[in-house]
Amino acid sequence: MSDLTNTGILSAIADHDGAVSIELDRVTKTYPGQRASAVEDFSMSIQPGELIMFVGPSGCGKTTTMKMINRIIEPTSGSIKIDGKDVLSINPNELRCHIGYVIQQIGLFPHLTIAENIGCVPKLLGWSKTKIAERVDQLLTTVQLDPGQFARRYPRQLSGGQQQRVGVARALAADPPVMLMDEPFGATDPITREKLQAEFLRLQATIGKTIIFVTHDFDEAIRLGDRIAVLSERSQIEQFDTPAAILAAPANDYVASFIGQGSALKRLALIPVTEAALGPAAAGVPAVEHTASLRDALDLLVLTGADRVNVLTGTGPAAGSLGHAAISAALAGAGHAHGQKVG
Ligand SMILES: Nc1ncnc2c1ncn2[C@@H]1O[C@H](COP(=O)(O)OP(=O)(O)O)[C@@H](O)[C@H]1O
Ligand SMILES: [Mg+2]
């Protein structure tokens, strides 16, 4: 019987293009002996392949909400469905083999090599040694660690950023359709964090998993998320929308306080230069790539004191140029539905 109930999730794994939906319906968690709930009536629909950010202060219930999805914590009430299947009907150990999980403390096994750490879930799933070894090599390469150099090392022989990459590789090992990431880059220094974020964005563009990513860093949420849920006490959803929509129109003072200063600059970082109305290319002015954001263009204007910057097309002549007025106009014209990310 348990085989039957598990078919849905397992077949979703087998199908490599198969990102899945996640549906939480009125999920509540009250810890034993506590009067107030840690999570109260939490409902959310997540589309296949979406990267959803949970952002909120320490103690607001982010981790509790996330851990109910892979049943490290059992909900007090409510339902959670992955790909339409009730997770409570699936054996929790089996469920966890098919949900990638990355945490801030990384949690690599210290007495296992990097290769063994990454291969542990495939091993549980009964993969052959050859298949596991191939997968380990592929994943180390994916997270930009040379397999020849790192596979046989132990976790303590890696830097924090390298260990975090291994944590991501391990979570991806069995190609799970769902990834849960709890402040995965929270313990790294700002430069490493920035690199990990950029790598992660590139990775997600190719793997297209359904991901829930917890952070207390609103700027990280803006940079990575397709949609952001701004959470307050008891995991109450104050706003759930695209980064651009939240920046352009915060739902209330609470959300506005999270955005903090400089919301126009943050919005500019989300808009590609190609969205602006470009004038003719100018002579003797600095230039940005066509993949740059309006914030990059403004940065260069301020830095150089030029009144225009050219936008390059890659190989050919510049596509055009823009100045302060075009940047302001693009910001004013950017509707509430900006979904794209500039990375
Ligand atoms: N095992 C537990 N027993 C009792 N209370 C807990 C437990 N885990 C977390 N809490 C409480 O639940 C609330 C939410 O915690 P958590 O989900 O860890 O928040 P966050 O991840 O947003 O920092 C906090 O008030 C925390 O103290
Ligand atoms: Mg937490």
Q: What is the pLDDT of residues 227-247, one digit of tens each?
A: 999 999 999 999 999 999 999
Ligand that lies nearest to the alpha carbon of residue 60, given by its number in the listed order? 1
Q: Whose CA is nearest to atom 7 of ligand 1?
A: 31
Ligand 2 geometric centre to CA of 66 (Å): 9
- At 64, the amino acid letter reads T
Model-level pTM?
A: 0.83
Residue 182 Cα: closest atom of ligand 1: 21
* Residue 189 scores a pLDDT above 70: yes
Q: For residue 9, what pLDDT band results from cuts at 50, 70 and 90?
A: low
What pLDDT sits at residue 343? Answer: 47
Q: For a pocket test of ligand 1, which of 28, 60, 67, 235 has the largest count of ligand atoms closer than 8 A to its C-beta?
A: 60
Q: Report the share of the chain in percent with pLDDT over 70.
A: 92
Compare 174 and 116 and report the one with higher pLDDT. 116
Which atom of ligand 1 approaches the CA of 61 most closely?
A: 17
pLDDT at residue 342 in the model: 56
At residue 14, the pLDDT reads 44
Q: Summarize pLDDT for 191-217 with one digit per residue, the tens.
A: 878 888 888 888 888 888 899 999 988
Question: What pLDDT digit, counting tens, does each position of 102-141 carry?
Answer: 887 778 899 999 999 999 888 988 899 999 999 999 889 8
Question: What's the mean per-residue pLDDT of the chain?
Answer: 88
- Over 50: is that where the pLDDT of 176 sits? yes
Q: How remote is the CA of residue 37 from the centroid of ligand 1, in Å?
A: 9
* pLDDT confidence of residue 102: 86
pLDDT at 21 over 70: yes
Spatial contact of 326 and 278, defined as CB atoms under 8 Å apart: yes
pLDDT above 90: percentage of residues in the chain: 59
Q: In ligand 1, which atom is closest to the CA atom of 216?
A: 22
pLDDT in tens, 27-58: 999 999 999 999 999 999 999 999 999 999 99
Nearest CA to ligand 1 atom 8: 64
Residue-level pLDDT at 338: 46
